[in-house]
């Protein structure tokens, strides 16, 4: 290490630079698609978790506990290797036509993240006074409609900072997709390392990019909490 | 059903790897890795947490920067860093399991230090002030007055962090440590046609282990809340 020749030029321009940039693009694509889908799924699970119908509530509860308490990597392997056994044939064909690795990673990341988002949304909903629900119900809204028009719009507003944090977690978790061959940032850093033996430079570049992503996201959360949630600076 | 037969035939492999005749592996290794890293990162987190709330800026700011940097990158990155740096620092080849323990310890210490900070900040300032005014030096007030109370409140968060560690050990797969996930991929590569059964089976094993500790942490939390109430 101490007689190691640093060569920063290889990662700041040329072919290897392009590899890293394409890796970053895939990381961003993977995280954005998965956060959008897992928000929708998480919202659904959160509403089911608070339902008055016991079996629906139990299902949502088991879903949450199961996917939060198993490693993401195992879930990725399950969907990647096992999808042909558990998903309908038509879905599998569609996956084979549309970048199988990427889609499996999106499925795993979406299901894993939705379990965390559902809990965030639920704590958002719990912070809304229960009189809001009572008022909505007594003015004739059904349970689902009161959720849709009265409770969730208020709850989601409070839930945005934890949601942005989930996006950050997702961006970091998406690095696991390299294990099934999705060419995201970590995968490309590894690739550059094995082609050039310049592991130090390649991983420094990838680390700095991840740090930049988390700095931007953390700044967004701080800004949102200061400006939108608490515009007059109450403590 | 044949898939379950395959799992049953390899059950010893899943649980302890090739243990009596070879190195420990499977679930036992997963648990070992998690436990060792947890104990090490408890002390790492305690030290980093205390440095983060130090009054001395020369100590506080660099520690905060390191903690936030580690929290900002994926665990996989830390594992790769250790994979390169550890042999270079030790000046000899290091076993892969050391790489993983080092990476998990550094990564988890950063998260543990946040728990420690929150736990210490949760103790009323009056406790420190009372300690100082009875003539204790600042470090003694911390060690004898604040920490014993703070640590008790941190227990549930520590247990949750241990659950995360159990899940995170699955990443040891990437450097070839034969813990549970690695064993599962081996069995899957050998049998080829039962991936769903095999990965569902190890998910359930992980789930049972993690859920047991999650429930423990909730139980402790309830106990602590009850003790605070009276």
A132-157, pLDDT tens digit by residue?
A: 999 999 999 998 899 899 999 998 88
Residue A124 in this model has a pLDDT that exceeds 60:
yes
Question: Which of the four pLDDT bands, split at 50, 70 and 90, describes residue A214?
Answer: very high
For residues B141-158, give the mean pLDDT.
Answer: 92
For residue B3, the model assigns a pLDDT of: 79
- The percent of residues above 90 in pLDDT, for chain A, comes to 68
Number of folded domains that form chain B: 1
Model-level ipTM above the cut of 0.85: yes
Most A-contacting residue of B14, B33, B80 (CB-CB within 10 A), to test interface? B80
* Contact across the interface for A214 and B199, Cβ inside 8 Å: no
The residues pairing with B179 across neighbouring beta strands, listed in sequence order, are B26
Task: Check: CB of residue A147 under 8 Å from CB of residue A51.
Answer: no
CA distance to partner chain A, nearest, from residue B208 (Å): 8
Report the share of chain B in percent with pLDDT over 70.
98
- Mean of pLDDT values over A95-119: 95
Asked if pLDDT for residue A12 goes beyond 90, the answer is no
A residues 154-183 closer than 8 Å to B (CB): 172-173, 175-176, 178-179
Whether B226 shows a pLDDT value over 90: the answer reads no
**What is the mean predicted confidence (pLDDT) over B153-160?**
93
Chain B environment of A170 (Cβ under 8 Å): none
Give the confidence band of A2 by pLDDT, cuts at 50, 70, 90. low
Q: Which residue of A has its CA nearest to B197?
A: A82
Cβ distance A1 to B89 less than 8 Å, yes or no, reads: yes
Chain A residues touching residue B100 (CB < 8 angstroms)? none
Contacts of A179 in chain B (CB under 8 A): 173-174
Phi-psi region of A14 (alpha: psi -120 to 50; beta: other; left: phi over 0): left
Please report which confidence band the pLDDT of residue B229 belongs to, taking 50, 70 and 90 as the band edges: low
Q: What is the pLDDT of residues B101-126, one digit of tens each?
A: 999 999 999 999 999 999 999 999 99
Cβ-in-10-Å burial (0-12, 13-18, 19+) of B189 comes to exposed
Distance CA B140, CA A195 (A): 54
The Cα of A165 is separated from the nearest Cα of chain B by a number of Å equal to 11
Answer whether A45's CB lies under 8 Å from A114's CB: yes
Residue of B72, B88, B215 to mutate when probing chain A, most A C-beta within 10 A: B72
Give residue B22's pLDDT.
Answer: 83
In CATH, what number is assigned to the domain containing residue B67?
1.10.3720.10
**Does B72 touch chain A if contact means CB atoms closer than 8 Å?**
yes
* A2-11, A62-71, A192-201: the lowest-pLDDT one: A2-11
φ, ψ of residue A52 to 5 degrees: the values are: -85, -15
- In this complex, is the C-beta atom of B191 within 8 Å of any C-beta atom belonging to chain A? no
pLDDT band with cut points at 50, 70 and 90 for residue B90:
confident
**pLDDT tens by residue, B28-64:** 999 999 999 999 999 999 999 999 998 899 999 999 9
Answer whether A214 sits within 8 Å of B206, measured CB to CB.
no
Q: Beta partners for B17?
A: B24
Under a CB-based contact definition with an 8 Å cutoff, are residues A159 and A128 in contact?
no
A52 touching B, CB under 8 A?
A: no
Label residues A20-57 b or e (16+ Cβ within 10 Å = b). Answer: beebbebbeebbebbbebbbebbbebbbbbbbeeeeee
In this structure, the number of other CB atoms found within 10 A of the CB of residue B90 comes to 10
Query: What structural domains does chain A harbor?
Result: 17-229 (1.10.3720.10)
Mean of per-residue pLDDT scores for chain B: 92
Better pLDDT: A20 or B18: A20
Confidence check: pLDDT of A234 > 80: no
Tell me which of A70, A190, A194, A219 to substitute to probe the interface with B (most B C-beta atoms closer than 10 Å): A70
Domain holding B52, by residue range, is: 2-229
Residue A232: which pLDDT band, with cuts at 50, 70 and 90?
low
* Rg of the Cα atoms in chain A: 21
Interchain contact B212–A (C-beta under 8 A): no
Percent of chain B with pLDDT over 90: 77
Please state, for a pLDDT cut of 70, what percent of chain A lies above it: 96
Q: Which residue has the tokens 């247990």?
A: B159
């Amino acid at each position: 290490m101490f007689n190691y020749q640093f060569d920063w030029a290889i990662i700041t321009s040329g072919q290897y630079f392009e590899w890293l940039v394409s890796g970053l693009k895939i990381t961003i694509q993977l995280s954005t698609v998965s956060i959008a889908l897992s928000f929708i799924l998480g919202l659904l699970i959160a509403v089911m978790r608070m339902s008055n119908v016991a079996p629906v509530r139990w299902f949502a509860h088991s879903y949450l506990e199961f996917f939060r308490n198993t490693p993401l990597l195992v879930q990725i392997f399950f969907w990647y290797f096992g999808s042909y056994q558990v998903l309908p044939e038509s879905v599998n064909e569609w996956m084979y036509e549309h970048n199988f690795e990427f889609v499996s990673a999106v499925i795993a990341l979406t299901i894993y993240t939705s379990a965390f988002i559902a809990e965030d949304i639920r704590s958002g909903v719990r912070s809304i006074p229960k009189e809001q629900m009572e008022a909505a119900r007594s003015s004739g809204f059904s349970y689902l409609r009161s959720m849709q028009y009265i409770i969730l719009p208020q709850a989601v507003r409070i839930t945005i900072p934890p949601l942005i944090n989930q996006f950050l977690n997702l961006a970091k978790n998406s690095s696991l997709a390299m294990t099934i061959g999705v060419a995201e940032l970590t995968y490309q850093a590894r690739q550059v390392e094995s082609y050039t033996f310049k592991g130090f430079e390649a991983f420094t570049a990838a680390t700095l990019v991840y740090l930049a992503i988390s700095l931007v996201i953390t700044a967004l959360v701080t800004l949102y909490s200061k400006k939108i949630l608490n515009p007059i600076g109450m403590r | 059903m044949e898939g379950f037969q395959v799992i049953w035939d390899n059950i010893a492999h899943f649980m302890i790897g090739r243990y009596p005749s070879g190195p420990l592996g499977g679930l036992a290794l997963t648990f070992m890795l998690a436990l060792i890293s947890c104990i090490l990162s408890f002390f790492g987190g305690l030290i980093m947490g205390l440095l983060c709330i130090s009054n001395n800026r020369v100590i506080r700011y660099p520690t905060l920067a390191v903690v936030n940097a580690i929290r900002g990158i994926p665990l996989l990155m830390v594992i790769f860093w250790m994979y390169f740096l550890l042999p270079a620092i030790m000046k000899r080849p290091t076993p892969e399991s050391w790489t993983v323990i080092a990476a998990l310890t550094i990564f988890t210490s950063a998260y543990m230090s946040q728990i420690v900070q929150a736990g210490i900040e949760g103790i009323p300032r009056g406790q420190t002030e009372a300690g100082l005014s009875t003539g204790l030096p600042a470090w003694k007030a911390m060690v004898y007055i604040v920490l014993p109370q703070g640590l008790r409140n941190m227990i549930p968060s520590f247990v949750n962090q241990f659950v995360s560690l159990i899940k995170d050990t699955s990443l040891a797969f990437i450097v070839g440590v034969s813990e549970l996930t690695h064993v599962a991929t081996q069995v899957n590569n050998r049998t080829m046609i039962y991936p769903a059964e095999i990965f569902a089976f190890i998910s359930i094993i992980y789930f049972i282990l993690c859920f047991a500790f999650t429930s423990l942490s909730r139980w402790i939390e309830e106990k602590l809340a009850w003790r605070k109430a009276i």
